[in-house]
Structure formats: C-alpha cells, structure tokens
Amino acid sequence: MFKNLLQAFVLNARIRNATIGVIALLGLSVVPFFNAPPPHVELAAEALLEHGPKWFTNGLLTTILVDLIIILMAVFAVSRMKEIPGAWQNIVEMLVEGMWNLTQSIAGHGSANSRKFFPWVITIFIFVLVSNYIGLLPGFGSIGIYHSGAESHAQGALDNQLAMAGAETIAVAAAAEEGKPVLVPLFRSPSADLNMTLALALISVFMTQFFGVQALGIRYFTKFFKNPFKDGMGAVVGFFELIAEISKIISFSFRLFGNIFAGEVVLLVMAFLVTFLLPSIFYGLELFIGFIQALVFMLLTLAFFTMATVSHDDHH
C-alpha cells in the first residue's frame, strides 16, 4: 500500500507536484511573514472617516456599490436586447424568468398577486444575492483606513466578548489590539450590516400587512384580533399570531445578518489559523450559503405575501 503510493509519487509528475504544492503552502502558512493578521471582528458597520459623519459607513458605501453593480448588469443585459439573446442577456433572462415562474408557482399562475409581488421578491433576491457575494471578494475586510482607535473603546470591549465565544487565541489577539490604530475596512458586505437586513425585514413585514389589507380590507386584522368573549381560543391564537408577525422582523434580519456575518468571521478565523488552502474550502461553503440565504429571504417573503392575501374565514 505504502509502496504503491510511493511509486505513484515518484512516477506521476502530477501527483508529485500537487503534493509538493500542498505541503509548501501549508508550510508557508506557518511562516510568520505570511500569517494573516488577527481577525478584527466588528459587529457594526463602521464610519469610514474618523472625524467625518457617522452615517457614512463602509456598509453604506458598499450598498451603493452593490446598487451600481446591479444596475450596470441590468443595463448591459437590456441595452442591446435582441430576439435571439446573447450570452449575458440569456443569463439575466434565465434569472428573471426563473424568479417569475417561482413567483407564479407560489402566488398563482397568471394571477394579479404574482404581478404585484414579483418586483418585491425578485429585487430582494438580486439585492441580497449580490450583497452576499460581494463580501467574498478579495479586499473586503482587508483594504481599509487606519483610525487612531481612541474612540473605539466600547467597540473593543464588544470585540473581546465576541472573541471569547470563539477561540482563546482571538481573544488574546483582540486584547492586544486595544489602543492600537484600528483598520476600518473600506468595504463591508451590506448583508453583514444590520441596517440593511433590518430594512429588508421591515419592508417585507410591512408589505405583508399592506398586501393583506389590500386583499381583504379591514378583515385582514381579524387574524390577530378576535373577540375573546365569542372566541376565546381564537383570541389567544390571534395574540400569538401577532407576536409571530413581529418576531418575523427579528428572524428575517438576524437570519441573513447572522449567516453572512458569521461566514465572514469564519473566513477570517480560518485565514488566521492556516493562511493558505483551508479558507478556500470555506469559500465554497460561503458561496452556497450566500445563494441559499438570498433564496430563503425571497421565498419566505413571497410565502408571507401569499398567505396574507388568503382569507382565513374561508375555513368555516
């Protein structure tokens, strides 16, 4: 067995080169010069300019970037629209048609609801997908501006707490970082900024109520409020429904934020532990998660929209 492997190693140039490459990269990872800096984990999006406006955060900058990318891609696909599509037009058409069919399959084929819901859910999907993926680009989290670090005491403490939950090494690193100049990344995935996920969650839940009222009128609210003297059990269920409706905001926003933020932290930690090779495996995982989260946000929104437009009195 071992002899065979040795023989293959000596004879097969490909296997030999690959093995040497892997060993060399893993070896390089240990060399101090190539070590990734200790991960700087920041829960909140940070203001880019130390003395500038607080609202101008890296998350906001990246949101604008995401908008531009999406619009450019759309313009590129649509500007020279042809009956016989080119490659890019084909991809974009596939996306739009796929989402349209998905919307129809849930909200009803050719229904007015499908046409009403479609722009909301497809925009959620595209925006979240591009936001998730843009955070995986090289340079995100590593290119930034150094701040003196004087004002970030509170943040440092929070870093510490977060890091404690992870690994001891990170806690030590974070503690050592305090007081030193802090690198504020220029870009931050909008999905890793709670403002964005919370905004989408609010839009999703608010539009659910809006479409519900539009479809059923004031009757929509009987889902939540029932006369407790007539229908005691119904009133209790309605109360729970109300709580569930409100908690949707939290689940929506923290699901997306948690997945993407945690993914970025995982990538940072992996890069810190083993600089080469190991993070690539997790990149694959993050690509998958980024797609799934976009789809989940979109599908849940679509399902809630559809459910809100269905009358509950029909069951009686």
Residues at the site binding another protein, with contacts judged by CB under 8 A: 43-46, 54-55, 57, 59-60, 63-64, 67, 70-71, 74-75, 77-78, 81, 83, 92-93, 96-97, 100, 118-120, 122-123, 126-127, 154, 158, 190, 193-196, 198-200, 202-203
Name which of 202 and 246 has its Cβ closer to another protein: 202
Name which of 122 and 302 has its Cβ closer to another protein: 122
d(CA 104, CA 122) in angstroms, rounded, equals: 12
d(CA 238, CA 312) in angstroms, rounded, equals: 12
CB of 306 to another protein, least distance (A): 19
Are 264 and 272 in contact by the 8 Å Cβ rule? The answer is: no
DSSP 128-169: HHHHHHHTTSTTTTTSEEEE--TT-HHHHHHHHHHHHHH-HH
CB of 173 to another protein, least distance (A): 21
d(CA 246, CA 242) in angstroms, rounded, equals: 6
Tell me the CA end-to-end span of the chain in Å, nearest whole number. Answer: 72
CB of 116 to another protein, least distance (A): 12
CB of 244 to another protein, least distance (A): 22
Amino acid letter, residue 5 = L
Name which of 26 and 295 has its Cβ closer to another protein: 295
Name which of 93 and 241 has its Cβ closer to another protein: 93
CB of 63 to another protein, least distance (A): 6
d(CA 144, CA 183) in angstroms, rounded, equals: 6
d(CA 29, CA 281) in angstroms, rounded, equals: 16
Name which of 3 and 54 has its Cβ closer to another protein: 54
Name which of 202 and 285 has its Cβ closer to another protein: 202
Name which of 94 and 310 has its Cβ closer to another protein: 94
CB neighbourhood size of 227 (10 A): 11
CB of 209 to another protein, least distance (A): 15
d(CA 89, CA 81) in angstroms, rounded, equals: 7
CB of 20 to another protein, least distance (A): 45
Are 257 and 182 in contact by the 8 Å Cβ rule? The answer is: no
User: Dihedral of CA 182/185/191/196: which sign?
Assistant: positive
